Chains A and B, each alone.
Chain A
Amino acid sequence: MSYDQARWSEDDQYEPLLSEKCTREVDVDAPLPDDLTRDSLELPAPSEPELARHYTRLSQMNYGVESGPFPLGSCTMKYNPKFTEDLAALPSASVHPDRHPGTVQGTLALMGRLSAYLAEIGGMDAVTLQPPAGAAGEYTGVLIARAYHEHNGEDRSEIVVPDSAHGTNFASAALAGFDVVELPSGEDGRVDPEALDAALSEDTAALMLTNPNTLGLFERDIEQIAEMVHEAGGLLYYDGANLNALLGRARPGDMGFDIMHYNVHKTFATPHGGGGPGAGPVGVVSDLEPFLPTPQVRETDDGSGQQGEPGSKYELHEPEHSIGKVHGFQGNWLVLVKAMAYIARLGDEGLTDASAKAVLNANYLAEGIDYEIPFGPFHHEFVASAGDQDAAAVAKRMLDYGVHPPTTKWPEIVDEALMTEPTEVENRRTLDQLAAAFDAVAAEDEETLDDAPQRTTARYIDQVTAAREPRLSWQALGEEGEE
């Protein structure tokens, strides 16, 4: 398989900036005193046909899940079902957050139902939908841990994070004011109970864990880990980034986790949008429910209907010891609509099958590639080693074969890591093509890799120079000649 990405270009650039095509400066004559207003405004002024062509060309110079395989490890780049977009676009979904709860019963009912679904899937007792992304979910969870310990009169200043964890875990803990204690991985790539024992103390507020971890390995000692953390007085936090491995097979709540976040843009197929928006709902065990962000949706006590059924009534309330707000309103509502529709479409059977096929696909793909995979048994993703090759260069070369490359150089526990997650949406034929792309690149020499990519819109982009001389706007481009 090969691929030639669209390449619109003019002279020394690709599609020109709108500002280079059709800028207009207008005088500002607003119904305000002159000293409060600007004099003029200069921005692009394309006609709608020009605008449509510009963005259509830009889209053609971009690669999405429907363009081809997207086995980006840790990112769960699933197909995003079309019908969920139509639901999020319903006029009845377009409501203001300050509406009286009695007039947005549909929105609250949907949130109530999604929360109930997520609680079931994670084995949790209560869920907040407010965090607008996975990292925001982590931050919310860490704030809950902080509030819980403070409520109990305990001063616990440390969060333990395995060295193989997502960078967000470290950053989220720090954002909440915690010191981060890094936990070295054991030789088998999992948590080493001895190292954990050394890391835990009376200062431990929580251990943040991804399971299966970023190598795709299930933490077999999870019950012992949970016991150790709880024994030390800490809480156990589940990073939901890899939940697509476990749907219907195991639940964080059953493993002893107290807090978890869900990445609905990974596990529940809402589109990644070129970087966002996502949503990072957080589930907790009942002891932590009073600490959830405000407001929470709940069914009213009048008992006029079964939960989630027509006739039931929902209201908003502030949990007793709420950590307050993690988003100005109630998070990324439109994303939540899509997630709810996806879960309803799949149901028990579909969710369980999604994970089964995600794990089968990862194993099947791994079987077909030449690169060594040092750690296993893995689940929905594996981390191969590019060995003597530079993993970043391997990735660039894979682009020429019409596939999006894996995540590279991480986790660092594997040399020249190629972190690969095909998800359940690929069929055998595509996986065979993907394996062929891996193997073709594995057999190529350094020069070929260094010259890659050839067939994408842009050739290799020098990121070092971009960082040394930052030009972050079209205004900055204009300054080039003046230096």
Chain B
Amino acid sequence: MGGHNTGSPYAPHTPEETAAMLDAVGADREADLFDIPESVRFDGEFNIPARDERTVRREVRELLDRNDQLVEFLGRGHYDHYVPSAVDHLADRQEFLTSYTQYQPEIAQGFLQALFEYQSMLVELTGLDIANCSLYDAATALGETATLAARVRESSGSHVLVPEHLQAGKRGVLENYASGVDLTVDTYPMDDGAADIGALEDAMAEDVVLVYAESPTVRGVVEESLAEIGALADGHDALFCLGSDPVALSILKEPAAVGADVVIGDAATLGLPAAYGMGLGMFATRESFLRQVPGRLVGASEDASGRRAYTLTLQTREQHIRRERATSNICTNQAWVALRAAIHAAWLGPGGLVDLASDCVSRAETLAAELDEIAGIQAPVHDRHHFREFVASTDQPAAAIAADLREEGFAVHAVDDHLLQVCVTETTANATDDLVDTLEVVA
């Protein structure tokens, strides 16, 4: 490749060019350019052999082929929806993929507009006034909400209330973010898979600054008491944060209509297939918290020719200007994933989104009913509406059933001694009959 044969394949210097450049800067050799004391110089080897591109491709492919090919009926915060080819091809255009944060907006109108459109879609889906252009994932978005709640609190409150059923990673991240602002995280109990409103009301007696609820919950339950939760939070001067995702929000009542002050979640339910947990932190809130929003915001302005143009805005909230008084430490975000989500949402259109979301309800319901027919399985455990997933109780130990299913090529969650959780989307819908047949044998 090119005129060189050693070193980085992506550094284009020929030996002659290197020599001429060294000459131009007055150095004999490259090592002379490093102002590093002898005592800390590294003279060893990493023992990483260089390989050609074909070899690396083969190696990585062989490594990843060690992943068993299982049909994944898995969810609990990370979902696999079909991502149309248009998303890959358009988002992979180098002008998007290899570009930097839009600190020079005049040369980055394309990405800024895409992010502006992404923000706008979230505004429509949440009914809230503003959305940022991404945080890392749902868990860090929840953590950021806790710090926001601490900044805007009007009481001396120091407690955050979260549902008893919560994805462990989300809880863990929240604990860390909350600890930095001296907030304590407590749980409120669930009643048949949804918020126990009476118990929540009792828990509100504590000095609570933030109440978090989800719809759908980590177990796939569509929460029916969001308006009550919102009213409880409001009555105690606490913020109400709702966790959801753009697919579910396509049919669920707008969060703003049930009193949500902040909506978080994983927006990579659009745009990314299963990606070992890589996500897209959705964050939308009320206009009154505009100057407390974490992360980047894209706004509309005008350029010198009088045309509408886009730019990052309200940057005085951010770490590169406000440093330790910033609303967050986030810099690098998930912009390219937001671009993918925006393309995916537009590809589906509102009709496609509503159909997709409706299928999430009916597929879960149908599969639960089928599992319920199997001797030794009762499903769904919770007498609620479900979205994508549900829990089923099992007479046999759930872990043993899950292990048997793995042998037969299926992955499900074992969430308790006798509880399985099963998630179904359009990417696994064609395999539900096989799952049912297999469960009839192993359950």
Binds B, one of A34-42, A284-292, A440-448: A34-42
User: Chain A contact residues (Cβ within 8 angstroms of B): what range?
Assistant: 35 or more
A463→B50 contact, CB < 8 A = no
Q: How many residues of B contact A (CB 8 A)?
A: 196
Nearest CB of A to B44, in Å: 9
A177→B179 contact, CB < 8 A = yes
Binds B, one of A21-29, A193-201, A228-236: A21-29
Task: Tell me the chain A residues, 54-74 only, with Cβ under 8 Å from chain B.
Answer: 54-67, 70, 72
CA distance A97 to B76 in the complex (A): 10
B34→A218 contact, CB < 8 A = yes
Task: Tell me the chain A residues, 274-297 only, with Cβ under 8 Å from chain B.
Answer: 274-278, 280, 294
Contacts of B42 in A (CB 8 A): 123, 248-251, 254
Q: A117-B48, A344-B59, A461-B301 known; A330 and B277 CB under 8 Å?
A: yes
A475→B123 contact, CB < 8 A = yes
A12→B307 contact, CB < 8 A = yes
Question: Which 8 interchain pairs have the tightest Cβ spacing?
Answer: A329-B277, A353-B7, A347-B50, A273-B336, A325-B172, A328-B139, A45-B349, A275-B335
A67→B95 contact, CB < 8 A = yes
Binds A, one of B157-165, B204-212, B231-239, B316-324: B316-324
B139→A325 contact, CB < 8 A = yes
Inter-chain contact total with CB atoms closer than 8 Å: 672
Q: Looking across the interface, which residue of chain B has its beta carbon closest to that of A349? A: B50
A466→B343 contact, CB < 8 A = no
B309→A14 contact, CB < 8 A = yes
Q: Looking across the interface, which residue of chain B has its beta carbon closest to that of A477? A: B300
Q: A428 within 8 Å of B by Cβ?
A: yes
CA distance A470 to B60 in the complex (A): 46
Q: Of A62, A269, A332, which is within 8 A of B111 by CB? A: A62
Nearest CB of B to A175, in Å: 5
B8→A177 contact, CB < 8 A = no
Contacts of A61 in B (CB 8 A): 109-110, 113
CA distance A333 to B329 in the complex (A): 21
Q: Mark B238-254, 1 if CB is under 8 A from A, else 0.
A: 00000000000011111
A60→B120 contact, CB < 8 A = no
A103→B139 contact, CB < 8 A = no
Q: A413 within 8 Å of B by Cβ?
A: no
Q: Of A86, A139, A333, A349, which is within 8 A of B6 by CB? A: A349
Contacts of B70 in A (CB 8 A): 99, 103
Nearest CB of A to B148, in Å: 12
Q: Looking across the interface, which residue of chain A has its beta carbon closest to that of B2? A: A427
Q: Mark A331-368, 1 if CB is under 8 A from B, else 0.
A: 11111010011011111111111101101110110011
A86→B57 contact, CB < 8 A = yes
B48→A351 contact, CB < 8 A = yes
Q: Of B100, B180, B303, B320, which is within 8 A of A274 by CB? A: B100
CA distance A296 to B62 in the complex (A): 22
Contacts of B172 in A (CB 8 A): 294, 324-325
Beyond known contacts A92-B61, A109-B63, A250-B34: 4 more, CB 8 A cutoff: A29-B358, A106-B66, A459-B309, A477-B300
Contacts of B357 in A (CB 8 A): 30
CA distance A36 to B216 in the complex (A): 11
CA distance A120 to B101 in the complex (A): 30
Q: Mark B311-341, 1 if CB is under 8 A from A, else 0.
A: 1111110111111111011111111110100
